[in-house]
Amino acid sequence: MGCVSSQDTYETSFLESVEINTTENIVYAKQPSYKELIPPAAARRMAKGVKMGIAASTKALKEANVEVPDAIITGTGMGCIEDSEKFLKALIDNNEEYLTPTNFIQSTHNTVGAQIALGLGCKGYNFTYVNGSISFESALLDAKLQLENEEENTILVGAADETSSHTMELFKLVNIIKKESDLPYSVLDSNSSGVVYSEGATFVTLENVKKENSYAVLEALQIQNELNIDEVESFITSFLDKNHLKIQDIDVVVLGNNGDINFDTYYTAVGSLFDQIPQVYYKHLCGEFNTASAFGFWVAASILKNQAIPKVVKMNSIEKATFSKVLLYNQFQGKDHSLVLLSKC
């Protein structure tokens, strides 16, 4: 796996050094050094999302000892939004004249997946999912079906999203992003609506065989467009049922709390079902964005591999000696709910 985020997650080992942001309502990803990864001339033209995607995917393939995967499946909420904005702004400001194609070419949502394929010379299956907070989970589901069906053996799955100035300003207008008057920002002790926005990229190599250095097993996942808060319990129990599990079989629950008081109630409802086990949160570290849940996936898989939960992500003080099953739950503004079940290798 490889992870680029607003924390120093690329160069250091799992959450070894973290900073908790309480003062900024937009936090930018710490950019790795791209010198060794991308020729400088090419890097200058590349969108931030593409560069973060290339960095994260390079690490994910290297860790798995894979040179070229059979398929590449990507999730992104907004694609290369900065290029879209640049092209649109130039179009409006110059009344449709004097435009150049570069920004338009990069603005298509599948640019990240396409550029990774181009770099690797990977002619395999290449899909990009764009659907709010389940973009990454859609990619995971597709990969899982193909691995189980033995259509492919090795699939690079990941997510990338970048921030861009105009969109961030619009998000502030409609209170998707927290206001300055809501300072200081906190995920668990929030009393305001909106979120702290961020960006990042996480890539994972999925294979249909277990290797010595594998992190975890992707057991099952489910996606649901809408749920009322009183439907959350049955959503979870029927998912567990389908996988022949009970609530007691889960060792750790990883929740997507983002500090929006209007919707974190969903997580409270799920947390109350799992009040006897360690609960983990992560968006105080990576911020919120369409594919922030991929960061959560990286946290969950790393917990299973290391068999330890870093203190900085703990929501409660319940301890457990070993972990075999981790359940992730995420949603955004009451929409695009996902459950992902991982188990120990």
Partner 1 sequence: MKVAITGMGIISSIGNTVEENFHSLVSLKTGLSTISNIETIHKDIIKVGEIKLTNEQLAEQLNLPSDNNYSRTALLGAIAAKQAVENAKISDMNAYKSGLISATSVGGMDMTEKYYYEYFENEACQKYITSHDIGDNSQKIANCIGLKGMVTTISTACSSAANAIMLGARLIQSGELDRIVVGGTDALAKFTINGFKTLMILSDDYNAPFDNNRKGLNLGEAAAFLVLESETIVKNENKEVLAYVTGFGNANDAFHQTASSENGDGAFLAMNKAFKMAKIQPSEIDYINAHGTATPNNDLSEGRAIIRIFGENVPDFSSTKPFTGHTLAAAAGIEAVYSVLALQNNVVYPNLNFKTNMEEFNLTPQLTLKEKEIHHVLSNSFGFGGNCSTLIFSKN
**Close Cβ partners of 9 (under 8 Å, ≥ 6 residues apart):** 3, 15, 30, 295, 298
Of 176, 216, 236, 277, the one binding partner 1 (CB under 8 A) is: 176
Q: Which of these segments, 6-14, 153-161, 172-180, 304-312, binds partner 1 (CB under 8 A)?
A: 172-180
Rounded to an integer, what distance in angstroms lies between the CA atom of residue 130 and that of residue 135? Answer: 5
Give the x/- contact pattern for partner 1 in 271-290, rule: CB under 8 A.
-------------------x
Of 27, 72, 286, 294, the one binding partner 1 (CB under 8 A) is: 72
Helix (H, G, I), strand (E, B) or coil at 90: helix
Nearer to partner 1, 75 or 278 (CB): 75
Q: Which of residues 97-136 bind partner 1 (CB under 8 A)?
A: 97, 99-101, 104-111, 113-115, 117-118, 120-135
Asked if 69 interacts with partner 1 (CB under 8 A), we say no
Asked if 195 interacts with partner 1 (CB under 8 A), we say no
Task: Please report the DSSP string for 112-150 in residue order.
Answer: HHHHHHHHHT--SEEEEE--GGGHHHHHHHHHHHHHHTT
What is the nearest approach in angstroms of partner 1 to the Cβ of residue 109? 4
DSSP 26: B
Counting every residue written for the chain, the total comes to 345
Token pair in block for residue 223: 């996606």
The owner of tokens 């998000």 is: 171
Asked if 95 interacts with partner 1 (CB under 8 A), we say yes
Nearer to partner 1, 96 or 212 (CB): 96
What is the nearest approach in angstroms of partner 1 to the Cβ of residue 112? 9
Of 214, 336, 340, 342, the one binding partner 1 (CB under 8 A) is: 336
Helix (H, G, I), strand (E, B) or coil at 313: helix
* Cβ-count burial 56-78 (b if 16+ within 10 Å, e if not): bbbbbbebbebeebbbbbbbbbb
- Residues at the site binding partner 1, with contacts judged by CB under 8 A: 72, 77-79, 84, 87-89, 91-92, 95-97, 99-101, 104-111, 113-115, 117-118, 120-135, 138, 141-142, 145-146, 148-149, 166, 169-171, 173-174, 176, 222-226, 290, 335-336
